[in-house]
Structure 1
Amino acid sequence: MTVPSAHTETSPESALHYLAGALAIFDPLRLRAWAELGLTTGQLRLLFLLSQHPGVTSGELAARLTVTPPTITGIIDRLVRLALVRREEDPADRRLVRNFLTSEGENVCERLEHGAEQFMHTILAEMSAAEIGALSTGLRAFIAASERVARQGPTGKYEESQ
């Protein structure tokens, strides 16, 4: 990766360059770990979503993953056959079916998260405390800005329903 000159450190282009460089290193490793499991990106996204939000309905999953209901049903069916997801009727409303990770589904998520954490710790061990502090500050600001933009509609105005 070519490092931009020091006088451009505060430009959006410089930040994008560094972000792209970091992702170019991390993404292939993450994708290789995922491929070793024999799961698609969509299936893994669903597993991680269920790990954060157990018991969501298929409709909620489809909306959060921005796919159609038939697509989400197919993904869930495959994960049920692989014993990574289980479906349960909602005791309060039998018309609703809630989705949960099985213990094996939880293990898959934990293994992937642990591998990613180990990799990140290895990288951070190469950095000084000041560099880690600067990274943390920058990432906090990036996350806050991302959340603000995510709440905006296509016109750039904040959505009323949020």
Structure 2
Amino acid sequence: MNDTIDRAINAYLGALHVIDPLRLRFWDSRGATTTQLRVMYLIREMCQPSTGELAERLGIRPATLTGLADRMERSGFVRRWTDAADRRVVRVSLTDEGAALLDEVAAAGRAYLGAIFERMGPQAREELSGALERFVETAAAVESVVSEGG
């Protein structure tokens, strides 16, 4: 690898080191684990998935998801119910508390990043925005090539 690639990787990892500890502390203060938050984001995205669909998307066994869902239900983040159309299917959705937690996580992250970006100044923000937009576009292109087996 060349020096500019190493520098970019180190800058990216440094940015993650700034953001991740804050997020972890915030989640912990709300009684949620990173795994639970990942599941809640997927539930929101998938809109009332079955537990089987959710386990498949997460790449885990249904029994593992059942234990996780039990804990999340006890914490008040999700609710489960039997599908009226097929009683063999159990569906899961966010409770108001679970949805509020995801909204709080997003708001706290935006506030923290906003404070950082405010201190950077307009020119640095513009440069960073352009670089991050190119990063996202390039990552999508690389992901497309990788997923096609190329």
TM over 0.5: yes
Residue 83 of structure 1 aligns to a residue in which SS?
coil
What percent identity do the matched residue pairs reach?
35
In structure 1, the partner of 2:144 is 148
Q: 1:96-135 alignment to 2 at 5 Å?
A: 96-125=89-118, 126-127=120-121, 128=123, 129-135=125-131
Identify the residue that residue 70 of structure 1 maps to in structure 2: 63
- SS of 2:88's partner is strand
After superposition, the Cα gap between the structure-2 partners of 1:149 and 1:27, relative to the gap in structure 1 and judged at 3 Å, is: farther
SS across alignment from 1:86 = strand
CA RMSD of aligned residues (A): 2.1
Task: From the two aligned structures, give the one with the greater helix fraction.
Answer: 2
Question: Larger deviation: 43-52 or 128-137?
Answer: 128-137
For residues 78-97 of structure 1, the aligned pairs below 5 Å read: 78-97=71-90
Shift of 1:40: 2.0
Q: Structure 2 length normalisation: TM-score?
A: 0.84
Structure 2, unmatched stretches of 5+, are none
SS class of match (1:91): coil
Aligned length: 146
TM-score, with structure 1 as normaliser: 0.79
Q: Report the alpha carbon displacement of residue 150 of structure 1 after superposing the two structures with TM.
A: 5.7
1:16 partner letter:
I
Q: Deviations over 1:78-128 (max 9, x none)?
A: 111122101122233222111100111101111111101111222222242
Question: Matches of 1:87 and 1:112 in 2, distance apart?
Answer: 23
Q: How many angstroms apart in 2 are the aligned matches of 1:67 and 1:149? A: 26
Higher relative contact order (CA 8 A, sep 6+): 2
2:90 maps to a residue whose letter is V
